[in-house]
Structure 1
Amino acid sequence: MNDTTTRPPLPDHLSVDPRSPHHVAAVFEFDIGIKFNDKDRFDVEEYCISEGWIKVPAGKTLDRKGRPMLIKLKGKVEAFYR
């Protein structure tokens, strides 16, 4: 099991997409949880705590490059290690 002292701090803005400038690979070595408006979300692609938003897929809709279309939801965002 991983020691909690070796976990990197969670950034304010984080993206799952490795092409994004907000992607931090070291964080994804651990299980991350996101609470949005006090409910756990498991479909979050990107978040920003200070601005208070998350991006989630819009159903099964894909863009022209085959990636899921994302919608931005605004509210209270909390990120934590599980």
Structure 2
Amino acid sequence: MSDASAKPTLPDRLSGNPRSKFFVEECFEHHIGIMLNGKERTDVEEYCISEGWVKIPSPKAKDRYGNPMLITLKGEVEAFYK
């Protein structure tokens, strides 16, 4: 990218977990917004536009490593830069 303000295109599937194969570090240099069924969500860990789902952390349930379990919500997903 030659222009300093140019932003990479958002992929169809993106994860906020650096260990995931869907993690793209260049996208997280800018603030990303996610809309699910017309409402903006601020707690999204992972999304897939073509399959129509987002994953959010559970408020109470934890996995065996102490990380929050992810809950899948389905609907119309839209990703954008703020």
Structure 2 length-normalised TM: 0.93
- Deviation sequence 1:51-71 (CA, Å, 0-9, x none): 000000111321101111001
Structure 1: gaps (5+ residues): none
Matches within 5 A, 1:38-77: 38-77=38-77
Give the counterpart letter for 2:74 in structure 1: K
Q: SS at the partner of 2:59?
A: strand
Whether 2:5 is the aligned partner of 1:24: answer: no
How many residue pairs match? The answer is 79
Structure 1 length-normalised TM: 0.93
Alpha-carbon distance in structure 1 between the residues aligned to 2:15 and 2:32: 12
- Deviation sequence 1:23-71 (CA, Å, 0-9, x none): 0000000000000000000000000000000000111321101111001
RMSD, aligned CA? 0.9
Mean Cα deviation higher: 22-31 or 59-68 = 59-68
Alpha-carbon distance in structure 2 between the residues aligned to 1:46 and 1:14: 6
